[in-house]
Structure 1
Amino acid sequence: MYGTGPIDQGNTKMTTAGLETQPSATTYELGNLVAQAWSGRIHVPHFQRDFRWGTTDVLRLFDSIVKGYPIGNLLLWVRKTPARSFTLGQLKINAPASPDAFWVVDGQQRITSLANALSPEGHLHEPFSIYYDLREKRFIAQPKTREPQHIALPVLFDLKKLLGWFRTEGELVAELFDEADRVATALRQYKVPAYLVRQDDLDILTDIFDRMNNYGKRLNRAEIFSALYAGPEEGAAERLNLSRIADRIAARTGFGTIDTDTVLASILARRGPDPSRDIRNEFSSTSRRTAPEFEDEDQYAAYGEGEEALVRAIGFLQAEAEVPHIALLVYRALLVVLTRFFAHFPDPEPNTRRLLRRLYWRVAVSGPAVFKGSFTQVARVLCARIRKGDERGSIMGLMDAMAEAQPSIPTIERFRTNEAAAKIILSSWWSLRPRSLVTAAPVDLQSLSTLLADQKTAATVAHVIFPRGLTAQQVLYAANRLFLPSTEDPVSEITTLLAHRPDHLDEETWDRVLASHTMSRQTSQTLAEGDREGFLQLRQQIIQQHLNDFLGRMAEWDYEDTPSLDSLDFDALDELDEPEELL
């Protein structure tokens, strides 16, 4: 017999309680829908993900509309809303109070794209700068050179503006008016289906949001987490969330912006040994399988403490592991592990820090092989070795997890800034503190952070020395790259600068500059003679030797992974050494 009580599915309790009234289905003509967005009747809840579409996505949306293809249903939450100001894409909206405003539960990317691309203000910004080519009969991104047949979407969408355009700018393509009228009519009259939900319970709304985004195209884990624990709309601008934590850490450390999935995994790792656990019961005291390791801690305390642990982990990477920026971080799982460690042990012993440095570099060069080929398990495996209240046991557990790892050196014959080998090489170069080829001043962390900003790779500061004239294999050599995070050096003159000592620099200073870029007088002279192949061979040798030395110093493969002397119980050792007759 089927009951109406709670339904137990795994660890999740669900009841049959839901919406008081079923959603009503309706359709809106696109012209009407966009007008409502401009007038402030359509709002985006703060728990929604950020706008993520690019120009290609917006182009495809309008192409589908004109072709009459379906673009999916909208799900709109109808609720009483006070007057408020907010941004929708690039549009600043001052919305009046409304008894039945629409809040977008599903369809944010589509509504934001439509409202901005069809608005004279929003159209000025990418990815909304869309035009229609009347002759080619297709939508295009803003062209570098405007042709007479190119018409901006806000003009095409507005009948009065469209007629005026054909009397002025479009006079040369008057014969294409019928095509413009056809597309304009298709846009304005396109019917967008929508479901309207009338429900005051925010928990039910976020449950709908969660379920919808677990079918079809999924949100990432951090986006779902942010939605589930968003809290009320009121006060959202002041509360911590994953994106705000990432921004604050970037400002505090210069490490760049960490993706929100890594921020979430780090916060979860701090509170428990499995950062991949179910997120739906994270702040429920009754539904979690295991108690959090920091008891009586609410969501925002967890956010704040998680941020602090992340900052400590990043400080360790920058100061002791020679990883100055996220663009040089080999595996983000390692940041998650370090965050858990520094959460439980904010000020580790010097020997512990030395072992942590070994751990980072041994994992970095070993890759997923030591973890049975799957790096998705790294954070889970290593976090489980970190035990609350036991610093020495935790660090030894981490080192034991790498006991089977073998010393290895990444290849220097394939340098791609998005690959682990190149990030390792770049860290080794950073350890030399690269100097300006013009002023000889070493580049500091702040300068590097400013140049890299939010870049996910170091491509913008790892310059190609010879873009042409080499074999396909030589182009990829590490020796064909120069790590030059400086605004003072003219990048277009790299080869000239490397080949000739500036008159204002003495020879000793010039030697330091060359050494900071894994070069010598000989490599500089070879370059001056125009011998590209000889230059690359000589520099590859220097890079290889430096990389060997760097990894030997960082990973310390030949050292015993033992605890510090003060952690040993010498009384117990003495007892073991006593003659048997004295025991």
Structure 2
Amino acid sequence: MDDFSIRQLLSHVKDGLLRIPTFQRGFVWDAEKVAFLMDSIYKGYPIGSLLIWRTREQLDYDRKLGPFVLPTPKKEYPIDYLLDGQQRVTSIFGVFQTEIQQDERDSSDWMNIYFDLYAKSDAQESQFVALAPDQVESPRHFPLKLFFNVGGFGKAMRGLPEDLALQIDAVQTKFTEARIPAELLTTDDKTTVAIVFERVNRRGVPLDTLQLLTAWTWSQEFHLQKQFENLTLDLKPFGFQDVGDDSNLLIRCCSAVLAGNASTDTLMKLNGASVRSRFNEVESGLKGAVDFLRNNLHVYSLENLPSPSILIPLAVFFATPNESQLRVNHTQKSAIIRWFWRTCFNRRYNSQPAKTIQSDIESMLKLKANEPSNLGIFPYNQATPEWFKLEQFRVGTVFTKTFVLLLAQKKPLTFISGSPISLASTLKSYNKNEFHHLYPKSFVKTLSNPSYDVNCLANISFMSRVDNNTLGGVAPSVYRAKMEPKPEVQFKILSHAFCYPTIFNDDFNAFIDERATLLANEANRLMN
């Protein structure tokens, strides 16, 4: 534990030795909070300790201190970075310093703090106020800006009544003698810094690891966050722009591609130059993964993907240097598709995901090198009709998303005309309005002995709201008349929906048993 006087703190910042790392968020306090901080220091109330990271390695990029561009350090080592206490330090520096010009684009209203000589001394109420120039009353309001400016302070004190001068002198003494507590973390290990920063974050906002990594890897030509934003724009036409909203997923893909391990800790230990020089591999990996999912599995958006983490090992497989395109042979393609279905139907990433993903990364690398690979070779359950009888349709669940992709493999047709459903547009806007009951709810309610829930997966199919409204909430034998009348077309519509013509027998229980068996058989075919 150490501490600073305010004068020492001002000097440390002014000399460029106390800096704000880029992963810190900007200054957000308003004038009232700054005034209350001054009141707390004046009255000797605890204001909390600063947490300072001392390192021999200066970051390539750091943040301004509020509206102030920090000068280059006057000496080489060490450099102190503020991990906790930015709002307090910015407030203290902005209120008291008079030498560094602020950035004109930033508002400075919060820096004009005055001591109100006529305010009552009260433990609860603040005796400090933030004022615009036209609100200042002399001699009632004395500017704190002059407390550490010897010439300015002396000039302002001349001519004041003795009682007010003594009062101001006492206030100044409180600030010149105040100590700002600080704790020092001395390390060059950036992983330790990340963990500490996360644990002491007082605002309860999760650590933005992307900002940390941006700081670690920054150069004049390379900004990791901007690279991810550009990659997001590249993926937008393919429906995967949401990847950019999940910085944790992007970081894990990046780490997996560059280091063969999806942990953030691993990526933080990489040399910044390595991340910059090989980032094109991350781009090619994600683009190749998205292309494979679209063309082979009808996954048209991140929301369609049963588990977003599936992108991680896929990105590893498709990552190539120098924008070269990976040629996937039949064996590799078959192995990846089988792995996908086994992983999804068995909800494999729901349990011990880190360990499971790492195993899949290693298997993907072997498959990519045409070496013996265990990708998809793990204990898994065969699909049973009960899966589709008992599971209910809930848009956001892993099993429902997998079920939707299972239906998509059959290239479903519209129930009215038999024309192909545009899976790309339907699945991009993935929502429950694109799926409806084959046996309508209102009809099932009339049955005396339904054995299954009307919302079970075996009763759900691709069907637009328009088609569903046209067919109406009637028995299948009745809505059949509203479908394309040609028997061969009806048969084709049904077969593309995993249905037999027996759907028109109006026997709900028998239909669910029959369709659940068809779905289970198809699921097992895909997994085997």
| TM-score normalized by the length of structure 2 | 0.55
Cα 1:434–1:226 change in 2 (3 A) is: farther
1:340/1:386 contact within 8 Å kept: yes
Name the SS of the counterpart of 2:498 in structure 1.
Answer: coil
2:416/2:467 contact within 8 Å kept: yes
Matches within 5 A, 1:104-503: 211-216=196-201, 217=204, 219=206, 222-225=209-212, 228-229=215-216, 231=218, 240-249=226-235, 251-255=236-240, 257-258=242-243, 259-278=246-265, 281-284=268-271, 297-299=274-276, 302-343=278-319, 346-368=326-348, 373-387=351-365, 391-393=369-371, 396-399=372-375, 402-409=377-384, 411-412=387-388, 413-415=390-392, 416-452=394-430, 458-463=431-436, 466=440, 474-484=453-463, 486=464, 489=467, 491=469, 495=473, 499-502=479-482
Residue in structure 2 matching 1:514, options 482, 488, 494: 494
Cα 1:464–1:280 change in 2 (3 A) is: same
CA deviations 1:450-479 (Å, max 9, x no partner) are 423xxxxx4343335645665896144113
Instruction: Quote how far apart the aligned CAs of 1:313 are.
Output: 1.4
1:328 counterpart letter in structure 2: N
Name the SS of the counterpart of 1:509 in structure 2.
Answer: helix
The residue number in structure 1 matching 2:46 is: none
Instruction: Quote how far apart the aligned CAs of 1:336 are.
Output: 0.8
Query: How far apart in 2 are the matches of 1:25 and 1:243?
Result: 24
1:432/1:517 contact within 8 Å kept: yes
2:197/2:207 contact within 8 Å kept: no
Cα 1:460–1:239 change in 2 (3 A) is: same
More helix by share: 2
Are 1:29 and 2:32 an aligned pair?
yes
Cα 1:254–1:25 change in 2 (3 A) is: closer
1:359/1:398 contact within 8 Å kept: no
Query: How far apart in 2 are the matches of 1:552 and 1:479?
Result: 16
2:239 counterpart letter in structure 1: G
Cα 1:459–1:222 change in 2 (3 A) is: farther
Cα 1:492–1:247 change in 2 (3 A) is: farther
Cα 1:232–1:347 change in 2 (3 A) is: closer
CA deviations 1:299-324 (Å, max 9, x no partner) are 3x544431221121122222223444
Cα 1:234–1:439 change in 2 (3 A) is: same
Instruction: Quote how far apart the aligned CAs of 1:332 are.
Output: 2.6
* Structure 2 segments unaligned to the other structure (5+ residues): 2-14, 21-26, 37-64, 70-84, 95-99, 111-179, 181-187
2:391 counterpart letter in structure 1: R
Name the SS of the counterpart of 2:261 in structure 1.
Answer: coil
Cα 1:241–1:540 change in 2 (3 A) is: farther
Query: How far apart in 2 are the matches of 1:492 and 1:220?
Result: 51
Cα 1:76–1:508 change in 2 (3 A) is: farther
CA deviations 1:477-533 (Å, max 9, x no partner) are 11342323x47535585545962343655332222223333333331352xxxxxxx
The residue number in structure 2 matching 1:20 is: 17
Name the SS of the counterpart of 1:397 in structure 2.
Answer: coil
CA deviations 1:229-276 (Å, max 9, x no partner) are 58489997x973435433432x23224622332222112111122111
Query: How far apart in 1 are the matches of 2:304 and 2:354?
Result: 19
Instruction: Quote how far apart the aligned CAs of 1:337 are.
Output: 0.8
Instruction: Quote how far apart the aligned CAs of 1:76 are.
Output: 8.0
Cα 1:222–1:545 change in 2 (3 A) is: farther
1:253/1:311 contact within 8 Å kept: no
Larger CA Rg, structure 1 vs 2: 2
The residue number in structure 2 matching 1:97 is: 105
Query: How far apart in 2 are the matches of 1:480 and 1:402?
Result: 32
The residue number in structure 2 matching 1:170 is: none
Aligned residues: 363
1:361/1:554 contact within 8 Å kept: yes
The residue number in structure 2 matching 1:545 is: 517
Name the SS of the counterpart of 1:463 in structure 2.
Answer: strand
Are 1:554 and 2:509 an aligned pair?
no
1:477 counterpart letter in structure 2: C
In percent, how many aligned pairs have the same letter? 13
CA deviations 1:510-565 (Å, max 9, x no partner) are 22223333333331352xxxxxxx33x24423432332332233222xxxxxxxxx
Query: How far apart in 1 are the matches of 2:315 and 2:19?
Result: 45
Cα 1:445–1:407 change in 2 (3 A) is: same
2:357 counterpart letter in structure 1: A
Query: How far apart in 2 are the matches of 1:511 and 1:405?
Result: 34
2:239/2:302 contact within 8 Å kept: no
Query: How far apart in 1 are the matches of 2:512 and 2:109?
Result: 64
1:440/1:510 contact within 8 Å kept: yes
Name the SS of the counterpart of 2:346 in structure 1.
Answer: helix
Query: How far apart in 2 are the matches of 1:303 and 1:495?
Result: 54
2:407/2:461 contact within 8 Å kept: no
The residue number in structure 1 matching 2:124 is: none
Query: How far apart in 2 are the matches of 1:430 and 1:262?
Result: 25
